[in-house]
Amino acid sequence: QITLKESGPTLVKPTQTLTLTCTFSGFSLSTSGVGVGWIRQPPGKALEWLALIYWNDDKRYSPSLKSRLTITKDTSKNQVVLTMTNMDPVDTATYYCAHRDRVTDFGPWGQGTLVTVSS
Amino acid sequence: QSVLTQPPSVSGAPGQRVTISCTGSSSNIGAGYDVHWYQQLPGTAPKLLIYGNSNRPSGVPDRFSGSKSGTSASLAITGLQAEDEADYYCQSYDSSLSVLFGGGTKLTVL
């Protein structure tokens, strides 16, 4: 059974850097075709894809946020870390990580973690 | 503004059939990239509903079906039930392998 869980601060100040960790079980990020993605959802708004890292360390970023994002993996710890710099109140959202494979794409998802950006 | 366009809302009475469209372009859906659909019940994380245009993960009722044609895709729900009231999102890729989500559709069961 695949499970994922996001962790990190619930409150960050404007201009700070956000670091989120996705800890997963039930699969290996060294398996061909597998990836982990980050997606966020501002309150009452739509899903927005942020970043995706693949088993071979290929990394993809949202073009509109690429300059602020870094995604890394630690295969031995079953973790994926997302950092987002220069946080702003508009970045207030629930942040999800999700397992991705080449057949079913994103599924399952973690429960999400709400991050509020406020001074 | 999402690259994949969905109607903001649809509604139907219990037992009816509803469809949700997802319109893209020749640089994403029309380029041959698969479309996937997610269901997000109120207050919960999204759940994969349809993958690879028309395939259902185990556990998803056959009342849900997906199709793709040209630059668009559709999700159909037959025999509408109260528990289907949720937000639905389509997802695909573009030629740079960026992930694209639709703007979401809120389904109301009357």
Write down the pLDDT at residue A14.
Answer: 97
Residue B2 scores a pLDDT above 90: no
Q: How many CB pairs under 8 A join A and B?
A: 64
Write down the pLDDT at residue B21.
Answer: 98
Yes or no, beta carbons of B51 and A39 under 8 Å apart:
no
Q: Which one-letter DSSP state was computed for residue A17? A: P
Yes or no, beta carbons of B101 and A48 under 8 Å apart:
yes
Q: Which residues, 6 or more positions from A34, have their beta carbon under 8 angstroms from its beta carbon?
A: A27, A28, A54, A55, A99, A100, A101
Write down the pLDDT at residue B67.
Answer: 98
Write down the pLDDT at residue B4.
Answer: 97
The tokens describing A85, both together, are 């710099």
Q: Which of B96, B104, B108 is nearest to B39 (CA)?
A: B104
The tokens describing A33, both together, are 């075709």
**Tens-digit pLDDT profile for chain A (119 aa)?**
999 999 999 999 999 999 999 999 999 999 999 999 999 999 999 999 999 999 999 999 999 999 999 999 999 999 999 999 999 999 999 999 999 998 889 999 999 999 999 99
Q: Which phi and psi angles does A90 have, rounded to 5°?
A: -70, -10
Task: List the single residue in A with minimal CA-CA distance to B96.
Answer: A60
Dist. CA B87–CA B93, nearest whole Å: 20
Q: Which phi and psi angles does A77 have, rounded to 5°?
A: -95, -5
Write down the pLDDT at residue A36.
Answer: 98
Q: H or E element: which one contains A29?
A: none
* Mean pLDDT value of segment B88-101: 95
Dist. CA B68–CA B75, nearest whole Å: 9
Yes or no, beta carbons of B45 and A110 under 8 Å apart:
yes
Distance of CA A110 to the CA centre of its chain: 10
B15, B79 Cβ separation under 8 angstroms: yes
β partners of residue A3: A25
Half-sphere exposure of A113 (CA within 13 A, CB side): 21
Helix residue ranges, H only, chain A? none
Confidence of residue B86 (pLDDT cuts 50, 70, 90): very high
The tokens describing A38, both together, are 């980050």
* Mean pLDDT value of segment B47-57: 97
Write down the pLDDT at residue B1.
Answer: 77
Yes or no, beta carbons of A60 and B99 under 8 Å apart:
yes
Q: 3-class DSSP state for residue A89?
A: helix
The mean pLDDT value of chain B amounts to 96
Write down the pLDDT at residue B76.
Answer: 98
Dist. CA B106–CA B38, nearest whole Å: 12
Cα torsion through B101, B3, A40, B67, rounded to 10? -10
* Mean pLDDT value of segment B86-94: 97
